[in-house]
Amino acid sequence: MSQSNKKPERISLPRKPKYVTISSDCDFFSLFKKIEKRFDNCFMLESLGEESFISRHSIIGFDPEKLIWAEGKQLFIQERDGSTESYESDNPYYLLRDIVPQNILSRGFAGGLTGYIGYDSMNYFEPTLDLQSSEMFDAFRFGLYKDGLILDKMTGEVIYFYYEDAHSKGEVFEGNRVDLVNAMMAEPTPENGPFVVRPAGESMSKTDHADAVAKVKQDIIEGKIFQCEVGFKKWFDMEGDTINLYEQLREVNPSPQMYYIKFGEQKVIGASPELLFRVRQGEMETFPLAGTAKRGKDAAEDTAFARALLNDPKEIAEHNMIVDLHRNDIGRVARFGTVKVRSLMDIKRFSHVQHISSEIVGIMAEDHDMFSALASNFPAGTLTGAPKIEAMKIIDDLENDGRGPYGGAVGQFSFNGDCMFAIPIRTVFANGNKAYVQTCGGNVYDSNAEDEYEEIQRKFAGTKRVLDSFAPTNTEENA
């Protein structure tokens, strides 16, 4: 690995990708199973469930041309052959802007960076913070994908995209891997291997959590903050084929942002209800979810729970505070006068819970791009609190280890200047056999620790149901 003070090389691409329709009757998830067995680095992004209109397309990427990640003040870039360069930088995140094109002519997905941004990447955006990092995950990690597969859910067509004669380190990269894709499509779908999940404790006991809520309430009384989202991890030992986990999540907890992102031993596997931020042709969107109720046993009970939620003064105050925070975040990078709350306090229903949801939009200012726009909206107010920076200092003090990608972002920066990131919640974060799920609840002045603990358990229910289904049987334990 060489150390370098020089700038990383800018990626050069033709102006447009090529799109080839290769199938109209492919089981896209089965195709991903074949890809996941074959490649150390790959991803699948989907939108499922009642809110699946949020994305008409599902996307698969495999064997990226480069891996790009950050640790502290260094950016690492690894080529396909494993050779790695590191670059010293005051801000490795903004080095991405120097190397990634944002001007490709395509309204559809055109490749780019896909991966995660850890919660502790906020250290790159806010110099007054020094958040603890994660032992299991980098500050951020992306694969650079110049080709991939797109499923159009409306037509059932699978489209392969690539760039012709894209240059990499002075060599021509043969961008077209359609023969490999066709060969994989013709292969039989592999059987899932065995998979076992064992609980391995929690990062905070119920008493510790009650103490944390009391501390937050004292900080509110002292005028430091209005609201703060404190939570904890549930740890697990996982053995075997993790595709089982994603397959079950798709069945049990179909969500508008589903993802399986694999970087070797690191995996982010989730079913998130919440979009963090999206840019499409210069329009920015964010959809904060704040305020939670359980689902009813039928439509009438669903409506009764929703009515109680929308008439709860604490939940409404909490939601309005978050809407204000998101308006401010978008406002910092928007053209003057373009920020609007397009919808305020709708109810969005998911498999196990329903949330109060709003939509905030703005037009990106000329002097900003997808990187600075995401930074301004990172991390979500729904996972931190208000005011955001002060809340994050308190969270970092109360939570006893780094969040990793939890509460950060998972998604992609596209070569056409668009980006789309979900908030990694309802997500399993794994590195080798060690894994965790994290959940938090919004604490305000009149919060009750018992209720907050219950809300955390409710939010965890969908993921827990999936993880519990892989508990070892007695015969396995005794073997």
Residue spans per domain, the chain: 19-176+199-282+364-469
In this structure, the strands spanning 195-202 and 227-240 are: antiparallel
Nearest-angstrom CA–CA distance, 260 and 44: 5
User: Per the residue annotation, which of 411, 442, 462, 463 is the catalytic one?
Assistant: 442
Q: How confident is the model at residue 219 (pLDDT cuts 50, 70, 90)?
A: very high
pLDDT > 90 in the chain, percent = 75
Nearest-angstrom CA–CA distance, 209 and 228: 13
Q: How confident is the model at residue 51 (pLDDT cuts 50, 70, 90)?
A: low
In this structure, the strands spanning 84-88 and 2-4 are: parallel
Cβ neighbours of residue 478 closer than 8 Å, sequence gap 6 or more: none
Q: Give catalytic status of residue 442 as yes or no.
A: yes
pLDDT at res. 442? 81
Task: Give domain 19-176+199-282+364-469's CATH architecture.
Answer: 4-Layer Sandwich (3.60)
Q: Give catalytic status of residue 426 as yes or no.
A: yes
Sign, Cα dihedral of 86, 91, 93, 97: negative
For 247-256, how does the pLDDT look when each residue is reduced to its tens digit (9 = 90+)?
A: 999 998 888 8
User: Per the residue annotation, which of 87, 124, 406, 436 is the catalytic one?
Assistant: 406
Q: Give catalytic status of residue 355 as yes or no.
A: yes
Q: How confident is the model at residue 171 (pLDDT cuts 50, 70, 90)?
A: very low
Rounded to an integer, the average pLDDT of 97-105 is: 94
Percent of the chain that is helix, strand, coil (3-state, to 5): 30, 35, 35
Its pTM stands at: 0.93
Residue 479 has pLDDT above 90, yes or no: no
Q: How confident is the model at residue 164 (pLDDT cuts 50, 70, 90)?
A: confident
For 334-353, how does the pLDDT look when each residue is reduced to its tens digit (9 = 90+)?
A: 999 999 999 899 988 877 78
User: Per the residue annotation, which of 368, 426, 427, 462 is the catalytic one?
Assistant: 426
Nearest-angstrom CA–CA distance, 44 and 419: 16
Q: Give catalytic status of residue 97 as yes or no.
A: no
Neighbours of 156 (CB within 10 A): 12
For 275-313, how does the pLDDT look when each residue is reduced to its tens digit (9 = 90+)?
A: 999 999 999 999 888 888 888 889 999 999 999 999 998
Rounded to an integer, the average pLDDT of 263-271 is: 97
For 224-258, how does the pLDDT look when each residue is reduced to its tens digit (9 = 90+)?
A: 999 899 999 999 999 999 999 999 999 988 888 99
User: Per the residue annotation, which of 355, 402, 439, 462 is the catalytic one?
Assistant: 355
Residue 477 has pLDDT above 70, yes or no: no
User: Per the residue annotation, which of 114, 242, 286, 382 is the catalytic one?
Assistant: 382
For 67-88, how does the pLDDT look when each residue is reduced to its tens digit (9 = 90+)?
A: 999 999 999 999 999 999 999 9
